[in-house]
Amino acid sequence: MTKIAMNDPVTSPAHYTSHPIEVINLSRRLCGPLAQIVQYVMRAHLKGDELQDLRKALFWADDLIAAMALEPVTLACMGRPDFSMSEFTRQMPDGRGYIIRQAYGAAYVGLDTWWEQSRLRLMRDAIAAEISLMEGEE
């Protein structure tokens, strides 16, 4: 078995391992678009161009909301994670933690399409608010 070196730029870059739990442990449990949103939001401040990554997350959120309006899909692709959302988001700024909690809720708490779409819209609006705050600082 090959041992993976910490901070290996291919398998374990710093922006993957900077949280108490690796981002992939949540994102692999979510449908593709929702996983993309989570990854961009969680890693944005670690990769160099935070605003660009938040804009990418917003793109994925808008795309997922539009797609779900046409054909609702299941937002979870694996079973519920074996860690709590508070454990996963405790080191994130409040706004980012809120976004991730809404994504988690859309996949695992929402019991019907309306509730899932409501959570997605809340998540999307929180991403847009983060972007607006950052653009105001420029």
Summarised one tens digit per residue, pLDDT across range 15-58 is: 555 555 677 777 788 888 999 998 899 888 887 889 999 999 99
Q: Is residue 2 situated within a structural domain?
A: no
Q: What integer pLDDT is reported at residue 111 of this predicted model?
A: 56
Residue 78 burial (C-beta neighbours within 10 Å; 0-12, 13-18, 19+): exposed
Q: Is residue 125 situated within a structural domain?
A: yes
- Cβ contacts of 53 within 8 Å, gap of 6 or more: 40, 41, 43, 44, 47
Q: Is residue 132 situated within a structural domain?
A: yes
Q: Above pLDDT 90, what percent of the chain? A: 25
Q: What integer pLDDT is reported at residue 66 of this predicted model?
A: 93
CB atoms < 10 A from the CB of 48, how many?
Answer: 9
Query: Is the model more confident about 7 or about 125?
Result: 125
Is the pLDDT confidence value at 119 over 80? yes
Q: How many domains does the chain have?
A: 1
Q: Is residue 1 situated within a structural domain?
A: no
| CB-based contact 126:95 (threshold 8 Å) | yes
* Averaged pLDDT, 60-77: 89
DSSP 104: H
Q: Is residue 7 situated within a structural domain?
A: no
Which structural domain range is residue 43 located in? 14-137
When pLDDT is cut at 50, 70 and 90, the band that residue 102 belongs to is: confident
| CB-based contact 99:39 (threshold 8 Å) | no
Q: Is residue 4 situated within a structural domain?
A: no
The 3-state DSSP composition of the chain as helix, strand, coil percent (nearest 5) reads: 65, 0, 35
Q: Is residue 26 situated within a structural domain?
A: yes
Q: Is residue 9 situated within a structural domain?
A: no
Query: Is the model more confident about 3 or about 32?
Result: 32
| Structure tokens belonging to residue 99 | 């976004």
Q: Global pTM? A: 0.79
